């Protein structure tokens, strides 16, 4: 049988959808997020790639997933109050879902990133730009529903996700963030191949 990572890209995307659909929490969040209709929204980060890891390794689809990250991008109002309106709307929309859904306006990230991670962050121009800066290229994966159709954002492809390879992405997040995350992931998914942080930044 041909490994998923060796399939044509359109078939890889279909395989991704089939795998993610086994996580009914994720599909429920996705459907309700579409109804919220936040600008430039994407469901991304661990809930997506970790669902793939779980299914590929024969685990329950939701195992080890801490939360469900919902990014959106609204540069028209960078106030905390405006973001809080979206968060509270999400609290109503996602009521009853057995998981935490974290909603973040990626237009605001540069306002708090340095205080949290120790390095400055230039303002993002889109949700996709925020996804591009994840600590591992493997994690740069987002999905949304548009008119009922799944749209997939995967700037580094899907092969590493299917092959359980974690590859560093030294464009923003510092080394310790990558190493802390991968140490935690290895405990949950020991099948992972974690590539080392490069000696020289990209």
Q: Is residue 201 part of a domain?
A: no
Helix (H) or strand (E) holding 114: helix 113-117
Q: Which of 18, 34, 118 is nearest to 70 (CA)?
A: 34
Whether 202 maps to a domain, the answer reads no
Asked if residue 136 is part of any domain, the answer here is yes
* pLDDT > 90? residue 180: yes
What's the distance, CA 75 to chain centroid? 20
199 belongs to a structural domain: no
CA distance 39 to 23: 24
Residue 97 forms part of a structural domain: yes
Question: Over 90: is that where the pLDDT of 132 sits?
Answer: yes
Cβ-defined contacts of 95-99 (< 8 Å, 24+): 97/25, 97/28, 97/29, 97/32, 98/25, 99/25, 99/29, 99/62, 99/65, 99/67, 99/68
Q: How far apart are CA 24 and CA 47, in angstroms?
A: 11
Say if residues 103 and 90 touch (Cβ distance below 8 Å).
Answer: yes
Q: Name the residue range of residue 74's domain.
A: 4-194
3-state SS class at 159 = helix
Find the helix or strand (DSSP H, E) in which 103 lies. Answer: strand 101-105
Question: Is the pLDDT assigned to residue 147 strictly greater than 60?
Answer: yes
Any domain includes 200? no
Name the token pair of 35: 């109804």
pLDDT tens digits, one per residue of 27-86: 999 999 999 989 999 999 999 999 999 999 999 999 999 999 999 999 999 999 999 999
Q: What is the DSSP string of 59-96?
A: --TTTT---EEEEE--TT---HHHHHHHHHHHHHHTTT
Q: How confident is the model at residue 15 (pLDDT cuts 50, 70, 90)?
A: very high
User: Which residues, in sequence order, are bridge partners of residue 128?
Assistant: none
C-beta atoms surrounding 138 within 10 Å: 29
Read off the tokens for 79.
């106030």
43 pairs with which residues across the strands?
Answer: 70, 143
pLDDT exceeds cutoff 70 at 200: no
Task: Give the count of domains, the chain.
Answer: 1
């Amino acid at each position: 049988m041909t490994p998923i990572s060796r399939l044509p890209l359109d078939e890889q995307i279909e395989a991704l959808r089939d795998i993610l659909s086994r996580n009914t929490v994720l599909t429920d969040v996705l459907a309700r997020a579409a109804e919220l209709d936040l600008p430039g929204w994407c469901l991304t980060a661990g809930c997506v790639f970790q669902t793939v890891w779980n299914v590929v390794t024969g685990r329950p689809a939701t195992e080890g997933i801490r939360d469900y990250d919902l990014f959106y991008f609204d540069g028209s109002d960078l106030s905390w109050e405006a973001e809080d309106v979206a968060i509270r709307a999400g609290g109503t929309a996602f009521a009853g879902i057995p998981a935490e859904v974290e909603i973040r306006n990626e237009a605001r990230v540069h306002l708090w990133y340095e205080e949290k991670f120790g390095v400055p962050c230039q303002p993002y121009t889109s949700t996709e730009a925020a996804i591009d800066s994840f600590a591992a290229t493997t994690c740069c994966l987002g999905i949304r529903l548009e008119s009922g159709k799944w749209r997939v954002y995967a700037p580094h492809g899907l092969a590493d996700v299917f092959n359980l390879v974690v590859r560093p992405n030294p464009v923003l997040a510092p080394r310790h963030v990558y190493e802390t995350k991968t140490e935690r992931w290895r405990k949950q998914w020991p099948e992972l191949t974690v590539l080392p942080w490069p000696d020289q930044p990209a």
